[in-house]
Amino acid sequence: MQVDLLEVIEEFVGGFGVNMTVIKTPDDEIGDFDLGIRKTFMEEGGIGQTVRHLYSFCREGILYFLNDCFEMEYCLFRIPKEEGQYGEMVLVGPYQKEYVDEYQLNMLVQSHKIPMGLMKELQEYYNAVPVMLLYEPWLAVLTAMAGKLYGGREMEIVRRESIDEYGDMNFFSNPPAEPLAAKLIEERYKAEEELLAAIAQGNMEKALKVHGRFRNFHIAKRYKDPARNFRNLMITANTLYRKAAQAGCVHPVHIDELSCKFAKKIETLMTETEADRFNLEMIRKYCMLVRNYSLQGYSPLVQKVVNHIDLNLMSDLSLRNLAAEYCVNPSYLSSLFKKEMSVTITAYVNQQRMKQAIRYLNTSNMQIQNIAADVGISDVNYFSKLFKKATGKTPSEYRELILVRTQL
């Protein structure tokens, strides 16, 4: 039970892009728990010193919130003794309570006497650390989860000034040999590649999970106007997601239709919160686009035929005409299509025509006979028969149902 709770805590904080480190002994090598900033910036072997310092005061049943000289926050608590085989302490962080602007960063550098040669590295570090804009809900959930480890008891909360034994640390006077900025930029690009790969696969769950990590890498602002900054980021995201969908073998016509809708909506975004929600919407819809229209894994001939059908529903889409269009034997095309698509060409054509008819009925006031003609069926009675077979209702009954629902 407790193992599951630790996994739940790790999943929760990981969704915000925050590290969770399990510390097993006072001499534990916990590596880059702070995204590598101590190892990169400080002269002394500060990590081992930090771990021993945490052991000196951390007690069971207490949730410690600690700051460091970079004004980052960490959460620390002991794992109950009965679960000691998994480790002794849990350290969550780093994370920020609010964004740090250029003025605040300069003040930090001056107050802690951080060498100016490290400014670029420090800026990239702040760009990489997650910001808890909803800090109070974050605090409440984290406190409740830690309490569950102790059988649901209420945890005592203690705030300390520094995670390190001494408030200020000894910094290198020159930029490090292995720049932290380069490492964090590499991680950001890696997360971006994972996100685009997930979209190309139509894997919505993975895409949203990777986005939880990727969104915490803040891109440097290029304009004084905040709205222009986040709108431009959304324009870039729309372009990248569009290319990912194309890599997932979705026809450009389908991609362009969705991309254009997003491009128009981007210019109406007024706040960064709106932009964040809109970004999630784009990820979900591009993943759905890939799921619905990807032809990955199909033979080139079947891909061409499917795209031709989808984009030319008003045309004569008989087996004979399609075979002639691609200069192949009708029997061969019929057999190959059925083998790969698990339906006949006729069944697929009717299926796509009914989907388009439903879209028209949901979004327009077109007359039934005009809808039938627009999806390539001249006989209205035959169209109604196909529609009822697909939906269980005639087109008129379906439209009535839509009207009733909109009036509720």
Can you list the residues of the chain whose pLDDT is less than 50?
1-3, 168, 172-175, 177
Dihedral, CA of residue 199, residue 203, residue 206 and residue 207, to nearest 10:
20
Question: Which CATH fold would you assign to the domain 300-407?
Answer: Arc Repressor Mutant, subunit A (1.10.10)
The predicted structure's pLDDT at residue 192:
87
The predicted structure's pLDDT at residue 70:
81
Contacts of 163 (CB under 8 A, 6+ apart): 50, 53, 54, 66, 67, 68, 74, 76
CA distance 78 to 22: 10
Contacts of 89 (CB under 8 A, 6+ apart): 22, 23, 54, 55, 58, 76, 77, 78, 79
The predicted structure's pLDDT at residue 329:
95
What is the Cβ-side half-sphere exposure of residue 198, based on CA atoms within 13 angstroms? Answer: 19
The predicted structure's pLDDT at residue 405:
64
80 sits in which H/E element? none
CA distance 104 to 68: 15
pLDDT in tens, 332-373: 999 999 999 999 999 999 999 998 999 898 888 899 999 999
Chain Cα centroid distance, residue 342: 33
Q: Is 264 helix (H, G, I), strand (E, B) or coil?
A: helix
pTM of the model: 0.56
Using an 8 Å Cβ cutoff, are 352 and 310 in contact? yes
Chain Cα centroid distance, residue 206: 8
CA distance 183 to 140: 33
Q: Is 371 helix (H, G, I), strand (E, B) or coil?
A: helix
User: Where do the structural domains in the chain lie, given as residue ranges?
Assistant: 2-178, 187-293, 300-407
Among candidate residues 256, 200, 262, the one with its CA nearest the CA of residue 233: 262
| The dihedral sign for the CA sequence 357, 360, 362, 364 | negative
The predicted structure's pLDDT at residue 407:
59
CA distance 57 to 33: 19
Mutual orientation of helices 300-311 and 345-363 as an angle, nearest 10°?
40
CA distance 269 to 400: 35
| Whole-angstrom Cα Rg for the chain | 29
CA distance 391 to 33: 56
